[in-house]
Structure 1
């Protein structure tokens, strides 16, 4: 009798562990990875800039995306910035507009703005001054980085 109860208890525990693990796998599958697009290049590297923005647009189809601009990259998102173009790519301002419409956050480095004699008031509408906490809370999944 003890043997039957022990065997039954083990079987029940085994079934519950399988059910629990399947639920965890299903929940983990719902978590999207995040892509951090880091742009430190500016207008002097048009190809890098528009490629980075195009990748952000493509990745936003099924990933959480955050775009971060620093060093020369801040020049791309200033109100008075000239649009950046390169053959076969959407322009920088077209891509920025599309990303913002999709709800993608685009951030500029506050220290880089200050070093350039600029502030958040000098940024295009919709571009935000970076906040360190946003680097970690924009996604629940892994954070992968693409640097341009």
Structure 2
């Protein structure tokens, strides 16, 4: 985990997010399974570990998106669970807290970016509707 976080702070890794300008951008590195936020070229949140979509058609899609909906507590109809600190950025895919063990590489989400409680709260305080989200890389095993 420490190696993944350290790698996310390297200039070459940061450049993969291709952030330009003063707007807040959240970067999701599927390869490292990390996330961070950048404003004016400086990291303002993270990096932190995340869990993203698993194989079997649940991969988190790469691309550039915007947060378009937020709810402190959202109900997932298909999975019948609460999604604390929900921030949607691509259809039914978004950021949310998970209460399950996040560090097991064999587990994954159904496409969402799962965060530990403190990270979900911090991201909620940092981001908002309209925040750019850049997802890049490839989750190992997917």
Q: TM-score, normalised by structure 1?
A: 0.26
* Structure whose CA Rg is larger: 1
**Structure ranking higher in strand proportion:** 2
TM-score calculated relative to the size of structure 2? 0.27
